[in-house]
Chain A
């Protein structure tokens, strides 16, 4: 009887702790039921269903109908090989059994591969049982989704594709424009640099620091040899002489008096003599003899006779 009391009290102390008054608690403590320390109210764990296995199996046995596989068409299989991840060289998923439900892509691929494995396994079985899987092209029947719905789907897919294409085109255009702008800026900068270089070279020449006029031919020679050859000599005297003359005439003040006298010095001065010009020897105008020699040249008499007789 004591044990019963104890049991009932124990039961009480566990479940109705808050409702016990102080006196009752004291009594219980006196009896030695309450252990020292904090007594915390603990929820009883949900009653786990006993004999789950047994009952389920019973039920299953009752439920089963023993139909041939043809009626049921069910298969249990793990997902098929993950071809993509193998191709990429990733290690096979260690948690094969437990697919991560949060990772959408992984989860859906898992389901997809499971269906694939089933299909691969089932098709030969179906063929064996004489059930057709391939629908012939001329077999028209009602589909689960109406034609209207399929049209909508098609339109949506096409529109998505168009949007993507448009955005790609726009991106390319933007890139091109950027590139074009870059090129333009580069060209302008190059021109400015060249101009600056030219001006400095000219100024240097003016001030007499260099007497080479090679900067004039810089554009032509840019692609070819940087080393300037014999043409240097030809151009040396051009502006140099002109400049000299002008300096003489106008430099350091105004006109010098008595410039146009025919004196001994001026008579003996042969610096203004150009042999080529004087003797009219192959100037710049008729200088292209090597290339199109017959551009303006009239053929000789014998050649003309030959041509005449031919035509």
Chain B
């Protein structure tokens, strides 16, 4: 019976077995071991099979042409979400609605699809698979679990707390997104791969018209937190009525496609260069221009005073030399006194 009920992930079972030995001190009965192998955890009440009702499954996969950072982000998300399933890379030749079929095959009702364009830009689709709404985002500022600055750690597959900014309730499209995020990221209660402790919290905040995602570990009961990662920023492009298609429910007016952004930068640089060149040319032209000779001085008669002209006296003889008064060759004072 224990073999039948054993989970696929045999590792954790071994760990549990080790733990049992450690705790009980060697003398455990086989029955006890069997019972504990059935359950996920030993200290809280056991996870019974019948209680898992919320059958939420998320399909996380990507298109071809993603880079290492995206791949790691996907792996991290799969680690953090035990209710996720993986799939092979989708060919870009296929249309997007093929994704719906893939979801159906895998029996998933939510989907996170990463699409990379030009090996530079990453787009993320989040959708409710058969009929529901979907949204497309541009993903920026990706930091993965493996970064050494993220020092926190959490149980693999533990259920997260979700924290939303109050701004999510103010706009209708944000409210829709909030619901979508909640259903996608929240691990179902009593999921067989989940851990019973709640030890980390996801934060979704809105700043600068973008959605910022953070993941923190709860260390103490007094809410001291450490970041685990991953972290990324989502820039909403559109919200669609159907899954990976359908009519547009909402279009973000402030969204600027990365191509436009790059183009603008290039144009700005080009415009600056052109301006400089024009200025230089103008200066050259000014310099080589034929300049007028100014013969009449416009300001010549500013200081003219109405008075009689004096007769001009031309000196033909040189003036007499001045008499030098200072006689340097004086006799000594004594002799002068004596002379007197």
Q: Which of B189, B216, B225, B249 contacts A56 (CB 8 A)?
A: B249
**Does B201 lie at the interface of the complex (its beta carbon under 8 Å from any beta carbon of A)?**
yes
Knowing A56-B176, A59-B133, the reply to whether A101 touches B199 (Cβ < 8 A) is: no
- The docked-state distance in angstroms from the alpha carbon of A122 to that of B43 is 22
**Does A235 lie at the interface of the complex (its beta carbon under 8 Å from any beta carbon of B)?**
no
Q: Number of contact residues on A: which range applies?
A: 35 or more
Query: Are the C-beta atoms of A135 and B151 separated by less than 8 Å?
Result: no
Query: Are the C-beta atoms of B156 and A143 separated by less than 8 Å?
Result: yes
Min distance, Cβ B80 to any Cβ of chain A, angstroms: 6
- The docked-state distance in angstroms from the alpha carbon of A61 to that of B144 is 34
Contacts of A99 in B (CB 8 A): 205, 207
In chain B between 154 and 189, which residues have their CB closer than 8 angstroms to a CB of chain A? 154-157, 159-169, 172-173, 175-176, 178-180, 182-183, 186, 188-189
Name the residue of chain B whose CB is nearest to the CB of A70: B189
In chain B between 222 and 269, which residues have their CB closer than 8 angstroms to a CB of chain A? 223, 225, 228, 239, 241, 248-251, 253
- The docked-state distance in angstroms from the alpha carbon of A156 to that of B141 is 23
Query: Are the C-beta atoms of A133 and B199 separated by less than 8 Å?
Result: yes
Q: Which of B15-23, B94-102, B275-283 is the interface stretch? A: B15-23
Q: Which of A75-83, A187-195, A200-208 is the interface stretch? A: A75-83
Query: Are the C-beta atoms of B164 and A74 separated by less than 8 Å?
Result: yes
**Does A112 lie at the interface of the complex (its beta carbon under 8 Å from any beta carbon of B)?**
yes
**Does B2 lie at the interface of the complex (its beta carbon under 8 Å from any beta carbon of A)?**
no
Contacts of A76 in B (CB 8 A): 163-166, 168-169, 178
Query: Are the C-beta atoms of A59 and B132 separated by less than 8 Å?
Result: yes
Contacts of A136 in B (CB 8 A): 43
Q: Number of contact residues on B: which range applies?
A: 35 or more
Contacts of A70 in B (CB 8 A): 189
**Does B90 lie at the interface of the complex (its beta carbon under 8 Å from any beta carbon of A)?**
no
Knowing A60-B179, A133-B198, the reply to whether A111 touches B205 (Cβ < 8 A) is: yes
Name the residue of chain B whose CB is nearest to the CB of A122: B161
Query: Are the C-beta atoms of B197 and A135 separated by less than 8 Å?
Result: yes
Query: Are the C-beta atoms of A133 and B197 separated by less than 8 Å?
Result: yes
Min distance, Cβ A145 to any Cβ of chain B, angstroms: 5
- The docked-state distance in angstroms from the alpha carbon of A138 to that of B24 is 12
**Does A123 lie at the interface of the complex (its beta carbon under 8 Å from any beta carbon of B)?**
yes
Min distance, Cβ A236 to any Cβ of chain B, angstroms: 51
Query: Are the C-beta atoms of A62 and B207 separated by less than 8 Å?
Result: no
- The docked-state distance in angstroms from the alpha carbon of A81 to that of B15 is 41
Query: Are the C-beta atoms of B221 and A133 separated by less than 8 Å?
Result: yes
Q: Which of B163, B195, B223 has the most CB of A within 10 A?
A: B163
In chain A between 99 and 114, which residues have their CB closer than 8 angstroms to a CB of chain B? 99-102, 107, 110-112, 114
Name the residue of chain A whose CB is nearest to the CB of B148: A156
**Does B145 lie at the interface of the complex (its beta carbon under 8 Å from any beta carbon of A)?**
yes
Name the residue of chain A whose CB is nearest to the CB of B40: A141
- The docked-state distance in angstroms from the alpha carbon of A265 to that of B81 is 124
Query: Are the C-beta atoms of B153 and A116 separated by less than 8 Å?
Result: no
Q: Which of A107, A133, A141, A157 contacts B12 (CB 8 A)?
A: A141
Name the residue of chain A whose CB is nearest to the CB of B145: A145
Query: Are the C-beta atoms of A110 and B216 separated by less than 8 Å?
Result: no
**Does A48 lie at the interface of the complex (its beta carbon under 8 Å from any beta carbon of B)?**
yes
Knowing A63-B183, A143-B154, the reply to whether A73 touches B159 (Cβ < 8 A) is: yes
Query: 4 other contacts beyond A122-B201, A141-B15, A142-B157, with CB at 8 A cut-off?
Result: A48-B251, A64-B179, A99-B207, A141-B155
Footprint of A on B, CB under 8 Å? 11-12, 15, 18-19, 22-23, 41, 43-44, 54, 79-80, 128, 131-133, 145-146, 148, 150-151, 153-157, 159-169, 172-173, 175-176, 178-180, 182-183, 186, 188-189, 195-199, 201, 203, 205, 207-208, 210, 212, 214, 216, 218, 221, 223, 225, 228, 239, 241, 248-251, 253
Q: Which 3 A-B pairs have the closest CB atoms?
A: A101-B208, A118-B163, A56-B172
